[in-house]
Amino acid sequence: MRIINNINEMHRLSVESRKQGMILGLVPTMGYLHAGHMALVTAARKCSEVVVVSNFVNPMQFGPNEDYSKYPRDMERDNSMCGEAGVDVVFCPSAESMYSPDTSVSVNEDRLSKVLCGASRPGHFRGVLTVVAKLFNIVQPDVAVFGQKDAQQVRVISRMVRDLDIPVRIVVHPIVREPDGLAMSSRNTYLSVSERKQACGIYKALQAAADAFKAGQRSGPYLVDCVRNVLAATGLVCIDYVSLVDDATLEPVTRVCDRAVLLAVAVRVGKTRLIDNVVLSPCA
């Protein structure tokens, strides 16, 4: 496994690999890796010959009062996990090399990024799209693998790829969960023992709504209230949003008809903001 810090070196390796006809797969991460990330690596391996994991905590996607300085980091542990998983290259540039002091160009999306997390985290998706566009330019992957947990992020990135004609195929991997249902996240490490137990209520709430949907319920307000009621019953009252939106357009849905919908949640457990979601499809 090669560990590359230099942007030009990463670019040269990508160019050489492509000249040899190899398919490159990229798994973009912010480090502090867990089994969910390793599942993305496995998915990338299935459709590419060279697997690159980027490990970069992107300052541009954190707001002024968010946890950039405290975001968990353990590069040695991350590299060990990548080595065991058979990753070919770990790309871990510095913030200084990724962003010049006078950086003045960024990437914006003006529709999908304005709702859900984008409504309460202004500038977040500008930072996400900018760094992902840079990674795509540096690594030049044929395939990039993202997790469904960050559902809005995946859709915003897919829209950027479509609208800017970026030649990369986006693969979305299902959410990887702990045995008790909590979606795996690097931020779970912030949770105390009691908060960790409480956080399980997020998935329970989504499952309650999914069960109601399977039983024939199609009312958007009912499904949203179902989630809110279970969250409240488990003491999760600091809710950023519970939203039912079209799975493709992220526009609000009041009644599920013939298109898949995304039931998405963002809550604070203590000081930690966690997100989760389920896709409800009337055709499933």
Q: Are residues 7 and 116 in the same domain?
A: yes
Of 40-49, 184-193, 259-268, 275-284, the one with minimum mean pLDDT is 275-284
Given a cut of 80, whether residue 284 has pLDDT beyond it is no
Is residue 271 in a domain? yes
Q: Is residue 236 part of a domain?
A: yes
Q: What is the structure's pLDDT at 179?
A: 96
Residues 138 and 270 in one domain: no
Percent of the chain with pLDDT over 90: 99
Last-in-domain residue among 138, 173, 208: 173
The total number of structural domains in the chain stands at 2
pLDDT above 70: residue 205: yes
Q: In this structure, what CATH number is given to the domain that contains residue 136?
A: 3.40.50.620
The reply to whether the predicted model has a pTM over 0.95 is yes
Q: What is the 3-state secondary structure (H, E, C) of 49-96?
A: CEEEEEECCCHHHCCCCCCCCCCCCCHHHHHHHHHHCCCCEEECCCHH
Average pLDDT for residues 199-206, to the nearest whole number? 98
- Confidence class of residue 48 from pLDDT cuts 50, 70 and 90? very high
Q: What is the CATH number of the domain that holds 268?
A: 3.30.1300.10
**Which residues carry out catalysis?**
37
State whether 104 and 161 are in the same domain: yes
Asked if 212 and 149 sit in the same domain, the reply is: no
Vertex 100 angle, CA 56 and 31, to 5°: 5
Q: Give residue-wise pLDDT tens across range 216-262.
A: 999 999 999 999 999 999 999 999 999 999 999 999 999 999 999 99
Same domain (yes/no): 158, 249: no
Q: State the pLDDT confidence band at 283, using cuts at 50, 70 and 90.
A: confident
pLDDT one-digit tens code per residue, 95-138: 999 999 999 999 999 999 999 999 999 999 999 999 999 999 99
pLDDT for residue 202? 98
Residue-wise pLDDT tens digits, 130-161: 999 999 999 999 999 999 999 999 999 999 99
Q: Which residues of 116-139 are buried (b: 16+ CB within 10 A; e: fewer)?
A: bbbeebebbbbbbbbbbbbbbebb
Task: Give the tokens for residue 175.
Answer: 């959410």
Residue 199's domain comprises 186-276
In whole angstroms, give the CA distance from residue 186 to residue 31: 8
Beta bridge partners of 28: 54
